[in-house]
Amino acid sequence: QSFKLLGFLDVQSVPCARESVLYGSLGSLVVGLGHFLATSRVRRSCDFAVGGFICTMLGYWFYCRYNLAQQRIRQRMLKEGMKNKMLFEGSYLDPERKQTGNERNDS
C-alpha cells in the first residue's frame, strides 16, 4: 500500500522520504516534549514541535539524498570499470597483464 503525504508525495516510491518523515516525527516529539518540560507552555511547545519536525525532516532528507547521489556515482564508476575490464582483458592495454620486453618496444 502506498501512503501519500500532503496528497502528492508518495512516501514508498520516493527514496529517503519514509525515513525523513519518521526521523522528523521523532525530532518533533523530542523538541516539543523537551520544550514543554522546560517551560510548561503548551502553545509554544507545539510551535517548537512543528519547527523541530521541519528541521529534522529536511536535515535528514538532504543528508540521505547526498549519500544516495554518492552511492549512485560509485555504482556508475564501478560499472564503467567492469565494462573496461571486460573490454581490455587479455589485450596489451590490460593493466594487470605483465608486459614483456618485446611488447614494450612495439608500443
Mean pLDDT value across residues 46-53: 95
- pLDDT at residue 18, as a whole number: 84
pLDDT in tens, 1-38: 666 666 666 767 778 888 998 999 999 999 999 999 99
pTM of the model: 0.69
Q: Report yes or no: 57 and 24 within 8 Å, Cβ to Cβ.
A: yes
- pLDDT at residue 66, as a whole number: 96
Contacts of residue 43, Cβ cutoff 8 Å, sequence gap at least 6: none
Cα(12)–Cα(61) distance, rounded to whole angstroms?
14
pLDDT in tens, 50-104: 999 999 999 999 999 999 999 999 999 999 888 877 777 777 767 676 666 555 5
Cα(38)–Cα(54) distance, rounded to whole angstroms?
21
